[in-house]
Structure 1
Amino acid sequence: MRVLLSTYGSRGDVAPLVGLAVRLRELGAEVRVCAPPDEEFAQLPAGTGVELVPFGPPVRALVTGAVPVAGGPPQRAAELVAAHFDTVAAAAEGCDVLVATGLMPAGVRSVAEKLGIPYVYACFHPFELPSPHYRPSLRPGRPNPPEVTDHRALWDLDAERVNALYREPLNTHRASIGLPPVDNVRDHVFTDRPWLAVDPALGPWQELTDLDVVQTGAWILPDERPLPDEVVEFLDSGAPPVYVGFGSMPMRTSPDVARVAVEAVRAQGRRVLVGRGWAGLALTDDQDDCFAVGEVNHQALFGRVAAVVHHGGAGTTTTAARAGAPQVVVPQMVDQPYWAGRVADLGIGTAHDGPVPTAESLSAALSAALTPGTRARARAMAGVIRTDGTTVAAELLFGAVHGGRAPV
């Protein structure tokens, strides 16, 4: 069986897909992964035998503003649609099934249609899928009318925004390969049977929707890398520190977030381990209670810290929960406020009120996360998180190709 996995997004979109690719290879499948050409993403499948096909412009440059996009979101959407019909279509030749994730992959299902192979849409947080239980995240376009508060009505407006960005380029390319036009791009991409690659304890899917959602569990890429010697030395030199890192978030609204975080952690009498990330966080002084790290194995690191302060990405939230580490979520965008709410509801950490922390507000949130009760709940949650999501998804794909129920 030959499988193409396609995504466009940050590390939180790429790593789970590589995790699935590794499991598929272990089960005997040939796998290609289409992903952004960022150098750090290219390192993820190193040594796994998974072929990585560069797709679209580098994400980090777009997120950090290093490369501004002329024409804004509509131009970016049109370019990504074109890349689906070009790069992804070429990579899909000879494949038996196609899986798409990440930033609205308009065009991938069309490639599968043209090739006559099954197509699966998967997402890494439940809040992306239309539901009466919550509001959609904001997209580029006109703001919601303040008088519209019904969730279903807001999801209808969400579909209109997706159409405004993607429908014209998508239908132009579909016509070029002999396919009929699509009226509702979002629902066409999602299908009526999307996959939810999220741990059911952390992000359960609530029923009573029009979707037949398949929740596989999180797709985890095992990380066997040892921690750097200097990190181990810092960890061994005192009490467990608090890790502070915001992943792929540039943190433009909080340019002094490193100083704020260090002050907040020190106010709790704790040492600090700062993750540089795409915000480029750095130490604010040369005191020996602080240490800065770049790209490291979070699966190994989070089990050795007192708490994890982060942005609330699905991957970081899941990794911290698996490690039994209390969390403080400072949500910035999209699904992150929802993950902050889940962490607070489960009692395994706290949700910071808003995306811009002060030393006082972050210290207060951290104080609550460091209580014995929160740590006990976080450790208990670690025993609940499932690790077989990639196996579940791989078996479903084998079934789709070899006589089981096709995803679409």
Structure 2
Amino acid sequence: MRVLLSTYGGRGSVEPMVGLSVRLRELGAEVRVCAPPDDEFVDLFAGVGVSLVPVGRPVRPMVASVEPGSAVGLAQRAAELIAAQFGTVAAAAEGCDALVATGPLPVTAGARSVAEKLGIRYVHASHQPIILPSPHQPPPARRGRPLPPGVTDNRELWDVDARNANDMFGAAINTHRAAIGLPPVDNVRDYAFGDQPWLATDPILSPWPRLTELDVVQTGAWTRPDDRPLPPGLVEFLDAGAPPVYVGFGSTPLGADAARNIARVAVEAIRAQGRRAVVAHGWAGLDLIDDRDDCFAVGEVNQQALFARMAAVVHHGSAGTTTTATRSGVPQVVVPQGADQPYWAGRVVDLGIGVAHDGPTPTLASLSAGLETVLATATRARARVVAATMGTDGAMVAARRLLGETGGEGLRLLS
């Protein structure tokens, strides 16, 4: 059996597909992956023996050049992604039995069209729940399309969101569909989700309400197995004293001034608590603020191993980092910058395993207050309790479900 995984986005959209790839191959499936051509993504898949078919432009330089929330250039980028689905992804899907897609709407609507044309199974997967229509939550605003002020009914807002999606992407999707002999769709967003979208989040950390019209399948989070040892220099630093505090903002881009400010505030606040710091560069470009020996800078590193040795984690609140920190049993200070990050910050607070910073720009006083809370004995104990309840292998749950529902009996390893 052959499965194609199609994704586009930052690390949070790509790395879960690595975890699913590993489990699918363990069950005997051949896996093909279409993803952005960033070197780090190529290396991620190469590390598990899966070749990446490059789609679209590299993501990292693009997100670094786009002003947060700006719609400038969005139409062109969306058109390129849609064309890539009907071109590169369609070619990769030839001979496949199923297509799993995640990422922005131009990707998933195009991917489902390809699956429809080929007559193969299609699954939409989301790694955070806020994009899935529910009467219990409002939709996130689309770039350049603010939600109408004064409207508080979530169902009405989701209807507005569907119309916005059609206005933004419907014409391009339907033009490509017509070119391959498919009829137009009148609700691009719901078409992309399909009849039964999958939610790849942990049900403890990110529960999906049961009483919703959308038939969501929650598999648990897709985490890639990571047994890489920590670098020797980092291990020496960790062994030289009490557990430090980690600060990193993952693949969320920050301007140079913002990165310097956050790094300075974070290190000073950590020092004020009598702690050492591990500073992760990431796409945000954080770095050390001086040459004192109580701080250590890291690049690409095994977060699962690193977080297990931290006293606390200060981060931006992505799905992946929040899940890894929660599973590690380490308390968190979440400083959300946008997108789904306020949602994850709220979940950390709801579970009592950390605090959410008010706004994206911490000060010495505000971050110090957050650290005082999470370093307290009660918060640290609560984080360990919640960690013990977390699931561990949502990727295997998803792989078994996909292969079982697609006739996966008697599979053989083909890749």
TM-score, scaled relative to structure 2: 0.94
Native 8 Å contact 2:4 2:34 kept in 1: yes
CA distance in 2, matches of 1:402, 1:152: 37
Q: Give the letter aligned to residue 186 of structure 2.
A: D
Q: Which amino acid aligns with 2:80?
A: E
The offset of 1:49, in angstroms, is 2.3
1:98 aligns with 2:99: yes
Aligned counterparts, 1:322-337, within 5 A = 322-337=327-342
Q: Does 1:289 align with 2:290?
A: no
Q: Please report how far the alpha carbon of residue 403 of structure 1 lies from its aligned counterpart in structure 2 after TM superposition.
A: 8.1
How far residue 142 of structure 1 moved from its aligned partner, in angstroms, is 2.9
- Which has the larger displacement, 393-402 or 301-310? 393-402
Cα shift readout 1:235-283 (whole Å, capped 9, x = no counterpart)? 1111111000000111238341111111111121111110001111111
Verify the 8 A CA contact 2:31 2:50 in the aligned structure 1.
Answer: yes
Give 1:70 shift: 10
CA contact (8 A) 2:64 2:254 kept: no
Contact 1:243 1:274 in 2 (8 A): yes
1:214 aligns with 2:236: no
1:140 aligned residue (140, 143, 161): 143
1:365 to 370, 395, 398: 370
* Cα distance change of structure 1 residues 388 and 94 upon mapping to structure 2, 3 Å threshold: same
Contact 1:138 1:334 in 2 (8 A): no
Secondary structure of the corresponding residue to residue 153 of structure 1: helix
The Cα offsets for residues 83-142 of structure 1, whole Å up to 9 and x where unpaired, read as 100111011010000000012222000000010001000001111201111121221123
Is the deviation greater in 150-159 or in 220-229? 150-159
Work out which of the residue numbers 260, 263, 276 in structure 1 matches 2:265: 260
Q: Helix, strand or coil for the counterpart of 2:296?
A: strand
1:338 aligns with 2:339: no
Over 3 Å counting, the alpha-carbon distance change for 1:184 and 1:66 in structure 2 is closer
Measured in 1, the distance between the counterparts of 2:381 and 2:71 equals 50
Amino acid at match of 2:373: A
For residues 213-254 of structure 1, give each alpha carbon's deviation from its aligned partner in whole angstroms, at most 9, with x where no partner exists.
000011110111100011111111111110000001112383
Partner of 2:8: 8
Is the CA contact 1:125–1:196 (under 8 Å) kept in the aligned structure 2? yes
1:398 Cα deviation (Å)? 1.1
Listed as ranges, the matches of 1:210-249 within 5 Å are 210-249=213-252
Code of the residue aligned with 1:173 in structure 2: it is H
Partner of 1:81 in structure 2?
82
Find the partner of 2:208 among 201, 205, 208.
205
Q: Kindly indicate whether residue 403 of structure 2 is the aligned counterpart of residue 398 of structure 1.
A: yes
Aligned-partner SS, 1:152: helix
Match of 1:49 in 2: 49
Task: Provide the C-alpha distance between the structure 1 equivalents of 2:387 and 2:145, rounded to a whole number of angstroms.
Answer: 41
| Correspondence for 2:283 | 278
For structure 1, which runs of at least 5 residues remain unmatched after alignment? none
Give 1:143 deviation, angstroms.
1.8
Q: Secondary structure at the match of 1:76?
A: helix
Q: Does 1:193 align with 2:199?
A: no
Give the alignment's Cα RMSD to 1 decimal: 1.8
Q: TM-score, normalised by structure 1?
A: 0.96
Q: Conserved in 2, the CA contact under 8 Å of 1:141 and 1:161?
A: no
Q: Distance in 1 between matches of 2:408 and 2:398?
A: 16
Q: Indicate if the aligned counterparts of 2:71 and 2:143 stay in contact, CA closer than 8 A.
A: no
Q: Secondary structure at the match of 2:390?
A: coil
Q: What amino acid maps onto 1:175 in structure 2?
A: A
Aligned position for 1:22: 22
Match of 1:305 among 299, 302, 310: 310
For residues 9-34 of structure 1, the C-alpha deviation after alignment (integer angstroms, 9 at most, x for no partner) is: 11111111111011000110000111
SS at match of 2:189: helix
- 5 Å-filtered alignment, 1:375-386, equals 375-386=380-391
- Please give the secondary structure, in 1, of the residue aligned with 2:46: coil
- Asked if structure 1 preserves the Cα contact closer than 8 Å seen for 2:208 and 2:218, the reply is yes
The CA deviation string for residues 338-386 of structure 1, in whole angstroms up to 9 with x for no partner, is 1000000100111111111111111111111111111111111111111
CA contact (8 A) 1:192 1:210 kept: no
| Equivalence for 2:413 | none
Query: Could you say what secondary structure the match of 2:52 adopts?
Result: strand
| AA at the equivalent of 2:159 | D
Return the alpha-carbon distance in structure 2 between the equivalents of residues 295 and 338 of structure 1. Answer: 25
Deviation of 1:192 (Å): 2.5
Distance in 1, matches of 2:174 and 2:329, equals: 47
Instruction: State the secondary structure of the residue aligned to 1:273.
Output: strand
- TM-superposed deviation, 1:75: 1.2
Contact 1:308 1:325 in 2 (8 A): yes
More displaced stretch, 383-392 vs 337-346: 383-392
Give unpaired runs (5+ residues) of structure 2.
410-415
**Does structure 2 retain, via aligned residues, the 8 Å contact 1:254–1:357?**
no
Asked whether the 8 Å contact 1:18–1:33 carries over to 2, the reply is: no
